[in-house]
Structure 1
């Protein structure tokens, strides 16, 4: 929490950053735009969970479209920063806690951008199924695709001093995560939708849409 917040605070603004972090910033911006593009332009009357909200950029954009947004993250420091950055004219319910907590209630859409990437594949699928159980329309999430380039980057990252390393991620193939989701009984009635890989230098992530076959009117 304390170690990462300064880096995240800078990364999620327009402040100058090094060349490596600039590629991460560009990739995250593209991924956020992709996920938002898979949501309706008018979100009035929709309830959205931003699962692993970080500094709140996606939550803010969803709120601009009229959504009632619950944004949650384990990091109290990042959530505090998100609250500070929230424009005065918008309302977002920021929380500190477990994004998988059923007590958060039901939502029309759940978005988990770069928050399931730390889970091993079976746990990622179980978490995705748990989020789907609390959504009536769609679940959008990202995962780190298992590629030779990403593996090489992970190996190179091990050479950095421990305090400078990024959090560990668990690469998984697209086929594996979709197979695990399809096998989970909780995903009955859910279909894989769009997918998109974003690669910008040191940022490599894949977005996956899951849609409910019984969308409410």
Structure 2
């Protein structure tokens, strides 16, 4: 699939199929055992991405690319950042706006749209937690190379790692149960991504394994 086709598929899934499930997963509401492991893994990954950024983000402009229901965007705003939080799903953006604490709403600009839109401007940091996991290797490399010239310090993002288990599940089309089918995640190799980049340099961070949630954090910094 092309980047645009994948983007449309992701929008359809989160706006029409999975809005309620995603709203529950990213809240404090009780969830099933499998979803509880995903929630715990995402909480851990969010903390890891935050740990790679300065504790004081005052005066810095940050793009949360694929912000979902807004937890990471709000956390960065609480550190003083001016956050532009973008998601392709208007439904998720509506949830994010409702959830944002009153004192944070002036620090986070929630927008529905394409996270690669050059009209968003330049940033000190970009985060993309679990929002680039559906794209092909070539589209992901192109996206990172397109973002890099607009970034001063780093792009922190996650991928599904290219492990034997995930590759077998991917080939079998079973990365998600059929009753909750999302666009297929594409397992990625950090080494292959790093070799493909031309406008920036990739640094592996760490991996989170929490039940059904298996995710690799990576960091991209502009080429010096």
TM surpasses 0.5: yes
Aligned to 2:78: 64
Paired residue for 1:110, among 126, 146, 152? 126
Flag the 1:200–1:45 CA change in 2: closer, same or farther, 3 A. same
Query: Match of 1:211?
Result: 221
Q: 1:180-195 alignment to 2 at 5 Å? A: 180-181=196-197, 184=198, 187=199, 190-195=200-205
Query: Which residue is 1:150 aligned to?
Result: 166
Query: 1:29 and 2:43 equivalent?
Result: yes
Instruction: Please say if 1:7 is aligned against 2:21.
Output: yes
Aligned to 2:68: 54
Of 128, 146, 149, which aligns to 1:130? 146
Residues 59-113 of structure 1 show CA distances to partners (whole Å, capped at 9, x for unaligned) of: 0000000000000000000000000000001131000001000000010001111
Separation of aligned partners in 2, 1:134 and 1:63 = 20
Q: 1:159 to 1:5 in 2, by over 3 A?
A: closer
| SS state at 1:191 partner | strand
TM-score of the pair, normalised by structure 2: 0.87
The alpha-carbon deviation at position 149 of structure 1 amounts to 2.0
In structure 1, the gaps of 5 or more residues are: none
Higher alpha-carbon deviation: 43-52 or 205-214: 205-214
RMSD value, Cα: 1.6
Choose which of 178, 190, 212 in structure 2 pairs with 1:202: 212
> With structure 1 as the length reference, what TM-score do the two structures score?
0.90
2: CA distance, partners of 1:5 / 1:79: 11
C-alpha separation in 2, matches of 1:25 and 1:178: 29
Partner residue, 1:92: 108
CA distance in 1, matches of 2:113, 2:189: 29
Which whole-Å CA distance do the structure 2 matches of 1:150 and 1:5 have between them?
A: 25
**Count of paired positions:** 207
Relative distance call for 1:37 and 1:131 in structure 2 (3 A) is same
